[in-house]
Amino acid sequence: MAPRASHAGSSTQRRRSGPTQTQQSTQRPTQTQGGSDDEDSDRPRPDGPAISRDSLQIETCARQIVRLALSLHNSRQPLRRSSELVQKIMKGAPPRAWSKVLDCAQTFLKQVFGMQLAELPQKERVTLTQRRNAAASGEGSSSKAWILVSTLSEDYRRAAADILVGGTEKEHAYMTFVTMVVVLIYLNGRMLQEAQLDSAMETFFNMRPESTHPVLGKTSRLYEVMEKQGYIMKVKDSSSGQTNIEYYVGPRAKLEIGEEGAVQFIAQMFPNQEFDDVKAAFKRSVGTDINNLDNEVPDDDEPTGRSQRGGGRSSTQKRGKKRSRREQEEDDDDEEESD
């Protein structure tokens, strides 16, 4: 008889516990409707503040920008503000929120991938026509194009580069070829004629324009790829009556290699030379970048050679021009949204 009593007692407890669970389940939607949950408070609601919705939209767009930047990095293409993919992503963001989306994307890239988006410098304006057109159009100093660069220490950069670009034999051979071409342009005073480049490639690599490398392929095709990816810039100059082809350091090479990378490359080729001596010789060969002269604002008490010739601008005029450029950049978002 004792077992029957225990069964009866357990069934009675089940009946008593049943309504309590039902009451708890009916109370859960009531808490959600009241907005007391911490998780729901962070989510945008129709009656919630606008800032919470904007923050969620900015974060979502930033994650999409990060995915796009990583995808473009593998093919060595820059992230352009005016591209159709970026415009499509920014449709889901609040108005004029590009700077906030970019800052959020930078945070994701640094914390997760150890990388950041670096803005490409503008292409060099080497001919007189290019410089006049740039001055007449009043174009700003921003290229509105970015590439990924590593924020890791030197010990980890090489391993990270192998992961991102594959680390194949062809990849290493290609970057060695690119660095060599960029170094030759630097050492020749930041400009190298086509005949000089062909002669140097034949001397160092035994590569002629019509020859085919067993790993890299046809030499002339390599120059085209380097120009398309922004490592070199090809300019045709007809000012002397004859058409001369000249090569300059491209925007991507300035960020990924730069003068410091060129000096280190030369120092590895001449290990018996002191690094400071190599760097000093490099600086003498490279000279001054003429495209940076316009960015230097002289003091009022120290006139430059340009102002003495009567062709320069005062520091007040230059600051006013910089302000107009910033205002123009701030209005770009409105113009792109109207498009």
Using one digit for the tens of pLDDT, what is the confidence trace for 67-105? Answer: 999 999 988 999 999 999 999 999 999 888 999 999 999
Q: What is the DSSP string of 92-111?
A: TS-TT-HHHHHHHHHHHIII
pLDDT of amino acid 213:
87
Whose tokens are 């969620």? That residue is 56
Same domain, 231 and 135: no
Query: Could you tell me if residue 144 is inside a domain?
Result: yes
Using one digit for the tens of pLDDT, what is the confidence trace for 45-64? Answer: 445 444 568 899 999 999 99
Using one digit for the tens of pLDDT, what is the confidence trace for 180-219? Answer: 999 999 999 999 999 999 999 888 878 888 889 888 889 9
The last residue of a domain, from among 165, 186, 215:
165
Distance of CA 38 to the CA centre of its chain: 37
CB environment 61-88: b (16+ within 10 A), e (fewer): bbebbbebbeebbeebbbbbbebeebee
Query: Could you tell me if residue 26 is inside a domain?
Result: no
Query: Could you tell me if residue 42 is inside a domain?
Result: no
pLDDT bucket at 170, cuts 50 / 70 / 90:
confident
Domain that holds residue 260: 168-288
Q: What is the DSSP string of 257-269?
A: THHHHHHHHHHHH
Whose tokens are 């008490």? That residue is 301
Query: Could you tell me if residue 1 is inside a domain?
Result: no
Same domain, 262 and 182: yes
Query: What mean pLDDT is reported for the chain?
Result: 75
Query: Could you tell me if residue 308 is inside a domain?
Result: no
Same domain, 145 and 182: no
Give the chain's domain count.
Answer: 2
| Angle between helices 169-187 and 258-269 in degrees, nearest 10 | 100
Same domain, 104 and 133: yes
Using one digit for the tens of pLDDT, what is the confidence trace for 107-150? Answer: 999 999 899 999 999 877 776 666 666 666 666 677 899 999 98
pLDDT of amino acid 134:
64
Query: Could you tell me if residue 100 is inside a domain?
Result: yes
The last residue of a domain, from among 122, 149, 165:
165
Q: What angle do CA 114, 72, 69 make, to 5 degrees?
A: 45
Same domain, 144 and 187: no
pLDDT of amino acid 139:
63
Quick one: which of 208, 250, 207 has its CA closest to 227? 250
Using one digit for the tens of pLDDT, what is the confidence trace for 267-318? Answer: 998 999 899 999 999 999 887 664 554 443 334 443 333 333 333 444 444 4
Question: What is the amino acid identity at position 16?
Answer: R
pLDDT of amino acid 239:
73
R_g of the chain computed on alpha carbons? 30
Same domain, 115 and 186: no
Same domain, 199 and 161: no
**CATH number of the domain to which 145 belongs:** 1.10.10.1200
Return the number of other C-beta atoms located less than 10 Å from residue 324's C-beta.
12
The last residue of a domain, from among 245, 267, 288:
288
Query: Could you tell me if residue 272 is inside a domain?
Result: yes
Same domain, 121 and 96: yes
Interval 22-32 mean pLDDT: 45
Same domain, 89 and 108: yes
Same domain, 123 and 183: no
Quick one: which of 165, 191, 187 has its CA closest to 256? 165
Residue 6 confidence (pLDDT) above 90: no
| Residues sharing a CB contact under 8 Å with residue 242, sequence separation 6 or more, in sequence order | none
Same domain, 182 and 275: yes
Residue 159 tokens read as: 């391993």
Rounded-to-integer distance, Cα 250 and Cα 122, Å: 9
Pick from 174-178, 294-298, 327-331: least confident? 294-298
Same domain, 172 and 260: yes
Query: Could you tell me if residue 192 is inside a domain?
Result: yes
pLDDT of amino acid 236:
86
Using one digit for the tens of pLDDT, what is the confidence trace for 139-169? Answer: 667 789 999 998 888 777 766 665 555 567 8
| Residues sharing a CB contact under 8 Å with residue 325, sequence separation 6 or more, in sequence order | 138, 140, 141, 142
Residue 26 confidence (pLDDT) above 70: no
Distance of CA 284 to the CA centre of its chain: 30
Interval 12-21 mean pLDDT: 48
Whose tokens are 């010789």? That residue is 281
Residue 189 Rama label (left phi>0; alpha psi -120 to 50; beta): left
**CATH number of the domain to which 262 belongs:** 1.10.10.1210
Residue 151 tokens read as: 């924020």
Residue spans of alpha helices (H) in the chain: 2-34, 38-41, 50-74, 84-90, 98-108, 128-137, 154-165, 169-187, 194-204, 219-229, 251-256, 258-269, 275-286, 305-308, 315-330, 332-338
